[in-house]
Amino acid sequence: MHEIFQAIMSNDYDKLNALLLTNEFDPTAIYNYHTPLEAICNQEDIYEYPDLVTNIIRFIASGKAYPEHCGYDNNTALMYACHNHMTSIAYAIIATGESNPECYNFECETALMIAICNHLSDVAIAIIATGKSAPKHKNSNGDTALILACQYNLSNVAIALIATDKSIPSHMNHSGETAYTFAHKNNMIDVIALLCQKLHTY
């Protein structure tokens, strides 16, 4: 096992910090289907160490972090970062232009869907802004990102998705629910107005 994976798996964050500072490791190394960046983003307690977070962001910005890799269960580093509410790390990954937001894991979730389900509105909007967020993609329940945005009452995300003209407002999930179903339930007035305009064109 590479030294960096030993540091991550043993929660030896002093060692991890030192390795990130010296850059003396292979960023494309794989252990248990994970790259170092994926393994880091899969740690739930990283945000308790601000200096470590700073160095992780520097590592990502270096262009050597390999953020496009799809690891265990087809999860990317961005997916893990969204799942663990690592907002600044997620932004750094998105900023590389290589976050692979079109990738979906074995549960058929994209990074955008995970961001929405974790109420990370600003991260979700940043993913949408890449133009590669796959808004037509459906998860295992048949939900699109737009349906989820309305279900979780995230008006700004829903509006951003509608603006892409790729979100298919009329789509129904496996339970027969549409984005409009949840927008109406959550009294999302602005979203309802936009959905009605789009649905009228179909």
CA dist., res. 189 & res. 186, Å (int): 9
Distance CA 78, CA 80 (A): 5
Supply the mean pLDDT for the chain.
95
The answer to whether residue 143 sits within a structural domain is no
CA dist list (Å): 22 to 15, 58, 165: 11, 12, 45
Taking Cα atoms as reference points, which of 59, 171, 152 lies closest to residue 114?
152
- Is 197 inside a domain boundary? no
Average pLDDT for 15-21:
95
pLDDT at 171 over 70: yes
Number of other residues whose CB lies within 10 A of the CB of residue 6: 14
CA distance 124 to 158: 10
User: What are 107-154's pLDDT values in tens digits?
Assistant: 999 999 999 999 999 999 999 999 999 999 999 999 999 999 999 999
**Rounded mean pLDDT of 86-103?**
97
Does residue 66 surpass a pLDDT of 50? Answer: yes
The C-alpha atoms of residue 102 and residue 87 are separated, in whole angstroms, by 19
Number of domains within the chain:
1
Query: Is 177 inside any structural domain?
Result: no
pLDDT of the residue at 198: 86
Q: Is residue 7 part of a domain?
A: yes
| Residue-by-residue DSSP string for 79-97 | HHHHHTT-HHHHHHHHHTT
Q: How many DSSP H helices and E strands does the chain contain?
A: 12, 0
Confidence (pTM):
0.94
Classify residue 122: in a domain, yes or no: no
pLDDT tens across 22-35, in order?
988 999 999 999 99
Q: What's residue 83's pLDDT?
A: 97
Q: Convert the pLDDT of each residue in 177-201 to its tens digit.
A: 999 999 999 999 999 999 999 887 5
Domain containing 92 equals: 1-100
Select from 36, 40, 118, 128 the least CA-distant residue to 82. 118
Q: Does the residue 155 lie in any domain?
A: no
Q: pLDDT band for position 202 (50/70/90)?
A: very low
What's the Cα-to-Cα distance from 120 to each of 79, 135, 180, rounded to whole Å?
12, 16, 21
- CATH number of residue 67's parent domain: 1.25.40.20
Structure tokens at 107: 């549960």
Q: Is residue 167 part of a domain?
A: no
Which residue in 20, 79, 6 sits closest to 53, CA to CA?
A: 20
Residue 22 lies in a domain: yes
